[in-house]
Structure 1
Amino acid sequence: MIILNKANITFIGTFLLLVQVVSLAQEKILTNNPAQDRYPNWSPDGSKIVFESDRDGNWEIYMMNADGTALQNLTDHESNDRSPSWHPDGNAIIFQSNRNDTQGIFMYILQNSRIEPISLEKFNYEPEWPRFSNDGSKIIFNAKTNENTFNLFIADKEGSHVEQLTFDVTRSLWGSFSPDDQSVLFFSRRDSNGEDDEIYIQELKHKKLTRLTNWPKHNFCPAWSPDGEKIVYATSMENSRPELYIMSKKGRDQTRITFNEDGDTEPSWSPDGNQIAFTGFRNGSYEICILDLEK
């Protein structure tokens, strides 16, 4: 069923600017639990979604079918296991955990349910939010480098040859490789005196940096479309919780796609480009939701 949502309308003086009207299918809520379910990530074949949940008293990594069935706790450990994402071959899941008394990166191997650490060579910080490159050869993650300072790093898949990508005095977070692995998408407070988050793309070869958003609130949690042409992200709204937007890879044609007073964040694009999974605050807790994009 296709539902026509209200337009995003901005008043500028006496002029009325109609930004965009978005047609979207009805939202699906995949989880229904009084605990917190967050950070969804699609499997490469689109059949499954992994996410983090504290429904067992601490953060664990869960996996379910893309329709919300066959829910499974993968980690089942007394430590906090968080921020899962898939290896591009679909056979493993990378995540962060404090199971060795300090924050580190681990891999869950689906074939044998084995969990293996990824030791970062000569790295003295605690890594967070790890993600593979699309060819599986690299890992990008962020780490706190000083008080209130976070930066992005790239390492080989075995954890060797760690290279610092950003050198900010505020924070740069949530890095992900473009589909061709030539650029990195992230959000940062580098140009706002630490006041608000904006979205950037940095080319890896020439180090060219492009700022995509300019909004005096927060633009954060960006994710590439499978073809690399679009970006979905969260934006803090005036006097309300964040909503999801889609824009071109050049930061143009910004289009609002959610209209929920409770807020939406942490989007993840399905491999076929037709759906977006995200974290939505519903009925007093965070749930994993899916939005069908208009064909």
Structure 2
Amino acid sequence: MKPIISSILALLVFLSVSNEIISQEDLLGYKEVQLTQTNADNRYASYNHKGEDIIFESNRDGRWQIYIMDINGTHQKPLFKSSSNDRRPSWHPYKDIVIFESDRSGTWEIYTYDFENNSVKKMRIPIKGDKRYARFAPNGVQVVFCHEAYAGVTDIYMCSNKGKRTKRIVNNKHLNIGPHFNRRGDYIIYHSNRNTQGESNIIYSRSIITDDRNRLTYFKDHSEYPNWSNIRSTRIVYSAKVDDMIHPEIFIMRSNGTRKIQVTYNDVPDILPSWSPNDINLLITGYRDGYEQICKILLKEPLNPENRALDQK
């Protein structure tokens, strides 16, 4: 490792002498590919189960709509068009079905879009109030989502994909956001402002069988939107502001909250990470050229050789 570090230092000296400026951050993190380049915001990107398509939301048409593109960012088009705001899409674990939220009924409700028959269907969940951040369980039979009980309080519920057998699994009179199942479907992760006096968010895991709860990030940090890796759920990717950071960056940690490693070093907001099906790439929402854009992070191409340890886990 020492010869590699020496080579990097030598490169820095050479570029400095050549009047070319390169910062330490340019040699950290992983290679990034920007997939969207619009004068509008693009967010919440995720791969389908085959890794062939990417779904995301964009307000490029004046309201939030769901778009689809291929894995290189080409052929971007609306999945369907509506006069409402359609947001936060994510994929079924093994079918070409997308779950999302929409305000078309006057409140935020959960809907699905089926590629097979090009149909949109409302999930009839017998709870009044806004429902958001929906995701399928790994078995495709259950769904987890957030329900706004009242202003400043969001509970997490689980139900069948037909909207039946509703069960509240997180209820603590705080904001609990962004639930995501592990591969076995017996735990969820989410972020919450519980125990921080509402000043920041912390990532928790919770068993849906025993109700055991574990805190995975520090009280002093602001960490959000965790996403479990796909293959064995051994890693969690998330966004966080740590120490003196002004903007959030992307981090990866083990599923027990240890070995936290920083992935991006952009000094602009990087948020909403999700894994590729084989866990070798990430999709993130990054602030680029004045707008939020979808970017792909190539975890097999570290800019800093010392980060190769992450690829071997």
What is the TM-score with the length of structure 2 in the denominator?
Answer: 0.85
Query: Distance between the aligned counterparts of 2:143 and 2:207, measured in 1?
Result: 16
User: Which residue of structure 2 lines up, in the alignment, with residue 225 of structure 1?
Assistant: 229
Q: 1:93 aligns with which of 86, 89, 98?
A: 98
Query: Distance between the aligned counterparts of 2:28 and 2:116, measured in 1?
Result: 40
User: Which residue of structure 2 lines up, in the alignment, with residue 104 of structure 1?
Assistant: 109
Query: Distance between the aligned counterparts of 2:73 and 2:151, measured in 1?
Result: 39
User: Which residue of structure 2 lines up, in the alignment, with residue 169 of structure 1?
Assistant: 173
Match status 1:79 vs 2:84: yes
Measure how far apart 1:23 and its partner are.
6.1
Report the structure, 1 or 2, having the larger strand content.
1
> Aligned with 2:170: secondary structure?
coil
- Please give the residue correspondences for 1:24-35 in structure 2 after superposition, counting only pairs within 5 Å: 24-35=29-40
User: Which residue of structure 2 lines up, in the alignment, with residue 248 of structure 1?
Assistant: 254
Partner deviation per Cα, 1:82-133 (whole Å, 9 max, x = no partner): 0000011231100000112221111111122211111102x11210010000
Please tell me the residue identity of whatever aligns with 1:188: S
Measure how far apart 1:239 and its partner are.
4.5
Query: Distance between the aligned counterparts of 1:163 and 1:234, measured in 2?
Result: 28
Q: 2:288 aligns with which of 276, 282, 293?
A: 282
Query: Distance between the aligned counterparts of 1:43 and 1:120, measured in 2?
Result: 25
Aligned partners of 1:75 and 1:81 also within 8 Å? no
Aligned partners of 2:135 and 2:145 also within 8 Å? yes
Match status 1:149 vs 2:153: yes
Residues 116 and 258 (structure 1 numbering): CA distance in 2 closer, same or farther, change over 3 Å?
same
User: Which residue of structure 2 lines up, in the alignment, with residue 199 of structure 1?
Assistant: 203
Please tell me the residue identity of whatever aligns with 1:283: D
Match status 1:261 vs 2:271: no
Query: Distance between the aligned counterparts of 1:25 and 1:203, measured in 2?
Result: 32
What is the TM-score with the length of structure 1 in the denominator?
Answer: 0.90
Aligned partners of 1:179 and 1:228 also within 8 Å? yes
161-170 vs 35-44, which deviates more?
161-170
User: Which residue of structure 2 lines up, in the alignment, with residue 183 of structure 1?
Assistant: 187
Measure how far apart 1:194 and its partner are.
1.5
Query: Distance between the aligned counterparts of 2:32 and 2:265, measured in 1?
Result: 11
Computed over aligned residues only, the root mean square deviation of the Cα atoms, in angstroms, reads 1.7
> Aligned with 2:125: secondary structure?
coil
Aligned length: 276
Measure how far apart 1:262 and its partner are.
1.4
User: Which residue of structure 2 lines up, in the alignment, with residue 139 of structure 1?
Assistant: 143
Measure how far apart 1:25 and its partner are.
4.0
Partner deviation per Cα, 1:246-292 (whole Å, 9 max, x = no partner): 00000000000000011200000001010000000000000000001
Aligned partners of 1:45 and 1:90 also within 8 Å? no
Measure how far apart 1:151 and its partner are.
1.1
User: Which residue of structure 1 lines up, in the alignment, with residue 53 of structure 2?
Assistant: 48
Please tell me the residue identity of whatever aligns with 2:103: N
> Aligned with 1:26: secondary structure?
strand
> Aligned with 1:210: secondary structure?
strand
Query: Distance between the aligned counterparts of 2:264 and 2:246, measured in 1?
Result: 13
> Aligned with 2:257: secondary structure?
coil
Report the structure, 1 or 2, having the larger helix content.
2
In the alignment, structure 2 segments of 5+ residues that lack a partner are 9-26, 301-310
Please tell me the residue identity of whatever aligns with 1:54: N
Partner deviation per Cα, 1:172-201 (whole Å, 9 max, x = no partner): 110011100010111111121222100011
Partner deviation per Cα, 1:44-88 (whole Å, 9 max, x = no partner): 111111000000010000011111112120131110000000011
Aligned partners of 1:85 and 1:131 also within 8 Å? yes
Aligned partners of 1:24 and 1:292 also within 8 Å? no
Runs of 4+ in 1 over 6 A off after TM superposition: none
- Please give the residue correspondences for 1:119-138 in structure 2 after superposition, counting only pairs within 5 Å: 119-121=124-126, 123-138=127-142
User: Which residue of structure 1 lines up, in the alignment, with residue 214 of structure 2?
Assistant: 210
Aligned partners of 2:124 and 2:162 also within 8 Å? yes
Measure how far apart 1:24 and its partner are.
4.7
209-218 vs 133-142, which deviates more?
209-218
Query: Distance between the aligned counterparts of 2:156 and 2:137, measured in 1?
Result: 14
